[in-house]
Structure 1
Amino acid sequence: MTTPHPYYPLSLAMDTYVAPTQHPLTLVCTIGTALALVLLLSYILVLRPLPLPRSTMLTAQWFVLCGSLHCVFELYYLAQFTALPESTDIMASLWKEYAKSDSRYLTQSSMVGALESVTVVVVGPLCWLVVIGICRDSPVRWLAQLVASVLHVYSVVLYFATEIIASESSCRPEPLYYYGYFYAMNAPWLVVPLWLATSAAREIHTAMHQAMQKPSQCIVEKKKKG
């Protein structure tokens, strides 16, 4: 007999599903507080002492946020990939709440598993590399920012597209879950990375253009001296 659950499609079989005991508002407040604390501590302990422009400070905070989510929250998902439906800890409950907008997170979807694997193994470390690059004023920051941002955009576009073209939706039809959880919660990882990727590409182009101009300038100067 299939265990009753709140996920779509309603015909979805989840024999080992255990419902969360925490109220959804409690779960939202928990992750919100945790992320706010991470951002506050990173600002006070690391970023505030540095003479960074406001835009660079915000970029660093964005990648701290992304790195924390990818390397903790999403790493937990991969670690509990097959056991998530029956898990009852706070992290599992958070994923179960989000899964109301995408039940693929509780059904061992190969697409979701692949996206999350790339996010945890590749994108997460790149986010921290951007933060380190900003703190050290290293040019590696721009390459890491470009790659991480492009991967963010690609994964969100693919994530949205697979749900849109699916023959059967994995999201509950209520506006809170469809427009709130599924679209609004993921949209920042489409919009912000587009701007960050453009910014990084512009910086890399400018640096390469200047580097290419130097040899010709040296030749001109030598001719003048000669």
Structure 2
Amino acid sequence: MSVASQHHPYFPQSLELSGYTPPTQTPLTLVLVMGSGLGAVLVGTYALFSRQRICGAALGLLDRLAATWFVLCGALHCVYELYYLLHFRTLASAEDVLASTWKEYAKSDSRYLAQVPLVFALETITVTVTGPLCLVAAHAIWNQSLGQRHIAQLSASVLHLYSVALYFGTELIAAESGCRPEPLYYYGYFIAMNAPWVVVPLALAIQSTGAICHAMQVAKSQ
């Protein structure tokens, strides 16, 4: 085992991270920081969309939940994951709180610290394409622009599903896993934290496909 691999908690144990600096915050602190930030986005967005009125009527529950989802995704993609892209090559040695949260998550997937090109490519698409599409979908829900909403919603959801399929698939077929063996990191971080980007986009993609097909049938019958 190399000297470098003895000083970091990531798998595979042969992984070398030049200049790696461990976080000064505890894992619980980092989880609370992320949870508080995400919670504020969720609560604030839901409250804002709950006050919106279209022709005097409030948005439906499903619309409010969908909008909250898209704003959350937009914030994660265009802010948090943008940070990752900007610090892709120096993340292992960075010492700020955002870097530390990435280092904590990397216990479930060390590719985020190992400068793997696939991860960088997926995050680039997510930041530059998927994130803005999510914000477009949220804005369309706010204005009840149904055509724009379902095109953006379907596109963003398909991109989410595609990215997750590549993300999970390449890890499963890898010669060496990048996840620590403890259940917390595999089932808690790697599976549970990414599962919403399978379940929710699938449901939204089905919804938008149905809405678009219905609209086309109506247009054809006229």
Give the Cα–Cα distance (whole angstroms) in 2 for the partners of residues 172 and 84 of structure 1: 19
How far is 1:179 from its partner? 1.0
RMSD: 1.1
- Shifted more, 114-123 versus 35-44: the winner is 35-44
Where does residue 189 of structure 1 map in the other structure? 197
Where does residue 14 of structure 1 map in the other structure? 17
Where does residue 175 of structure 1 map in the other structure? 183
Within 5 A, what are the aligned runs for 1:53-64?
53-64=60-71
Where does residue 222 of structure 1 map in the other structure? none
Where does residue 59 of structure 2 map in the other structure? 52
Give the Cα–Cα distance (whole angstroms) in 2 for the partners of residues 38 and 168 of structure 1: 36
Aligned residues: 214
Partner letter of residue 2 of structure 1?
A
Name which one, 1 or 2, has greater alpha-carbon Rg.
1
Give the Cα–Cα distance (whole angstroms) in 2 for the partners of residues 147 and 190 of structure 1: 14
How far is 1:36 from its partner? 1.3
How far is 1:167 from its partner? 0.7
Give the Cα–Cα distance (whole angstroms) in 2 for the partners of residues 48 and 70 of structure 1: 25
TM-score by length of 1: 0.92
Q: 1:33 aligns with which of 7, 31, 36?
A: 36
Where does residue 120 of structure 2 map in the other structure? 113
**Gaps (5+ residues) in structure 2?**
none
Partner letter of residue 69 of structure 1?
L
Give the Cα–Cα distance (whole angstroms) in 2 for the partners of residues 40 and 55 of structure 1: 15
**Gaps (5+ residues) in structure 1?**
215-226
Give the Cα–Cα distance (whole angstroms) in 1 for the partners of residues 120 and 37 of structure 2: 24
Contact map agreement 2:49 2:59 (CA 8 A) in 1: no
Partner letter of residue 164 of structure 1?
L
Runs of 4+ in 1 over 6 A off after TM superposition: none
Where does residue 157 of structure 1 map in the other structure? 165
How far is 1:40 from its partner? 2.2
Q: State the secondary structure of the residue aligned to 1:22.
A: coil
Contact map agreement 2:67 2:138 (CA 8 A) in 1: yes
How far is 1:46 from its partner? 4.4
Distance change >3 Å, CA 59–CA 45, structure 1 → 2: closer
Contact map agreement 2:49 2:67 (CA 8 A) in 1: no
Contact map agreement 1:66 1:124 (CA 8 A) in 2: yes
How far is 1:2 from its partner? 1.8
Residue by residue, what CA displacement relative to the aligned partner does 1:88-125 show, whole Å, maximum 9, x if unpaired? 10100000000000000001100000000000000000
TM-score by length of 2: 0.94
Give the Cα–Cα distance (whole angstroms) in 1 for the partners of residues 203 and 82 of structure 2: 26
Partner letter of residue 48 of structure 1?
R
Partner letter of residue 18 of structure 1?
T
Partner letter of residue 203 of structure 2?
W
Contact map agreement 1:47 1:135 (CA 8 A) in 2: no
Contact map agreement 2:46 2:65 (CA 8 A) in 1: no
How far is 1:14 from its partner? 1.1
Where does residue 75 of structure 1 map in the other structure? 82
How far is 1:31 from its partner? 1.0
Residue by residue, what CA displacement relative to the aligned partner does 1:133-190 show, whole Å, maximum 9, x if unpaired? 0011112000000000011011111111101001111110100001111111101101
